[in-house]
Amino acid sequence: MDKKDYIEISKASDLKSTKDRILYRALEILPGVISLGTLFGVLIFSWLLPSWVAIFMIVFCFFYLLRVLYFSIHNIFGYIKVKNHTKKNWLLELEKMKWQNIYHLVIKNNKMYVSDGNLEIKIEEGALKNIFTPINDVLWADVEFSEVKTNKK
């Protein structure tokens, strides 16, 4: 499978290799098998080992209770953050900083592009690897320049 194939694959029949199709289908089926296996396992083992199933059910319920509490707390804090950010005067914050010298950069194939497309800089390979983390061969950053020289196309 090529590096960019994952973008164009939406179902098993999109794969060319039989080995890849079998692996894709197995991984696609795995969550359902685990879920149904847990449900049927509880039913079967409730006759064979009822005390073990009772312990499993109690631990499982406590696990889900903790998960719900964890997600609820994060939801509440996220909601509070959103409310605080909607009350904030962002234009006033923008006026406090020197926003004229901040550019949104996209770095791809060893070329750096500014969001308006006027600036294109050739960079050396590996020069920015210590600063940025690549995501799908694209590096994203907001960078401040003291001087900007544009190359109009």
pLDDT tens track for 47-92: 999 999 999 999 999 999 999 999 999 999 999 999 999 999 888 8
Q: Tell me what pLDDT residue 2 has.
A: 56
Reported as a pLDDT band with limits 50, 70 and 90, residue 107 is: low
Percent of the chain residues topping a pLDDT of 70: 58
Look at 106 and 144; give whichever has higher pLDDT: 106
CA distance 149 to 112: 13
Provide the b/e sequence for 84-115 (b: ≥16 CB within 10 Å): eeeeeeeeeeeeeeeeeeebebebeeeebbbe
Q: Tell me what pLDDT residue 14 has.
A: 79
pLDDT tens track for 17-38: 888 888 888 999 999 999 999 9
Tell me: pLDDT of 131 over 80.
no
The answer to whether residues 93 and 102 touch, using CB atoms and an 8 Å cutoff, is no
The answer to whether residues 144 and 102 touch, using CB atoms and an 8 Å cutoff, is yes
The answer to whether residues 46 and 55 touch, using CB atoms and an 8 Å cutoff, is no
Beta strands in the chain (DSSP E): 102-108, 111-114, 120-122, 138-144
Whole-number Cα distances in Å, 92 to 82, 102, 144: 18, 16, 19
> Domain-by-domain residue ranges, the chain?
1-48, 49-88, 98-144
